[in-house]
Amino acid sequence: SLREEKENAEALVASMKADHDAKSAELQADMDKAVEELKQQMGEGSKALADQISSLREEKENAEALVASMKADHDAKSAELQADMDKAVEELKQQMGEGSKALADQISSLREEKE
């Protein structure tokens, strides 16, 4: 009868709707779970990236400190070398002065002998 067919059709529609609702809820739950996992992975990725950046900053600071230390060492050695050179030049000037004085004395002495 038509009434039975109508009731069967309504029951089928209700069953299909319930099935659709259940599948939609399951799909929504799967999507929510996937979004949470993605957020977590992105968070871990961001943390890993932040750790890498921090590590690179440390390496840069260490390299800068090494360069500064090497420059200070170089400057100290250069100053020491300059001081040694200045001292050697002064000693040489003094020796040349003494040599010139001795030479002048010799010339003077030879002049006296000649006279």
Span 3-20, pLDDT tens digits: 999 999 999 999 999 999
Q: How far apart are CA 70 and CA 79, in angstroms?
A: 14
Host H or E run for residue 115: none
For 77-95, what is each residue's pLDDT tens digit? Answer: 999 999 999 999 999 999 8
Give me the chain's average pLDDT, please.
Answer: 92
Q: How far apart are CA 77 and CA 33, in angstroms?
A: 65
For 21-60, what is each residue's pLDDT tens digit? Answer: 999 999 999 999 999 999 998 888 898 999 999 999 999 9
